[in-house]
Chains A and B, each alone.
Chain A
């Protein structure tokens, strides 16, 4: 049973560029959430997708956007990258009905120069 997978594992971008990160949820899961984890900090909630719609959003600017596909996989897009966007980006998945447990992927480490 495959767990949550994310790609790429590492990424280096320069300020002002755009980036797309990808996530495939655990088998049987239909809800995907994205978190940003700065070095030495706890993960911060960005947004959550269910049935291809954004259901909840944290305190992140509109430069952060996402998408969920019919197969439940998801993308996180960040435009106009800032140095402060350097972080580990984590994807978590769950089954929306009856289960609160969220399973995290290994993350994508983004470095903005």
Chain B
């Protein structure tokens, strides 16, 4: 089955700096790659996603890149703010209509310091 690896497990940046989180996946059939942010005591919140027919997507300070050949994708957060501090999860999925199982990475704890 699909396996998703995520690095680093913890990341500390100063406010205003950029943060990059990287993930690799094993199943070349995966075609959908969301990123979720999870704050303490809450469920995961979708922050951005990318489909396999797109190489890059940006939404304000957040961007995701996908390299299908290398089977890896990355999350880029620019101009980090204290409220960006949370645990971030990447995930991969093979969407076939009714089937949409998400396989998650192990998470990255991002801390943005003042």
Task: List residues 68-101 of chain A with CB under 8 A from any CB of chain B.
Answer: 90, 92, 94, 96-97, 100-101
User: In the complex, what residues of A have CB within 8 A of residue B51's CB?
Assistant: 100
A104 in complex: contacting residue of B36, B99, B100, CB < 8 Å: B36
Q: Mark A44-79, 1 if CB is under 8 A from B, else 0.
A: 110010100001101000000000000000000000
With A101-B34, A104-B36: A56-B101 Cβ-Cβ less than 8 Å: yes
Closest to B1 in A: A59
B106 in complex: contacting residue of A33, A41, A94, A105, CB < 8 Å: A41
Contact count A vs B, C-beta below 8 Å = 72
A97 near B97 with CB under 8 A, answer yes
Cα A40 to Cα B34 with chains together (Å)? 19
Interface size of A by Cβ–Cβ distance < 8 Å?
28
With A101-B46, A106-B42: A43-B102 Cβ-Cβ less than 8 Å: yes
B45 in complex: contacting residue of A44, A45, A56, A104, CB < 8 Å: A104
| Contact sample, A vs B, 27 pairs, CB 8 Å cutoff | A4-B43, A31-B98, A35-B102, A40-B107, A41-B107, A42-B4, A42-B89, A42-B91, A42-B104, A45-B102, A48-B98, A48-B99, A48-B101, A50-B98, A56-B99, A56-B101, A58-B101, A92-B102, A100-B32, A100-B49, A101-B49, A103-B46, A104-B43, A104-B45, A106-B41, A106-B42, A106-B43
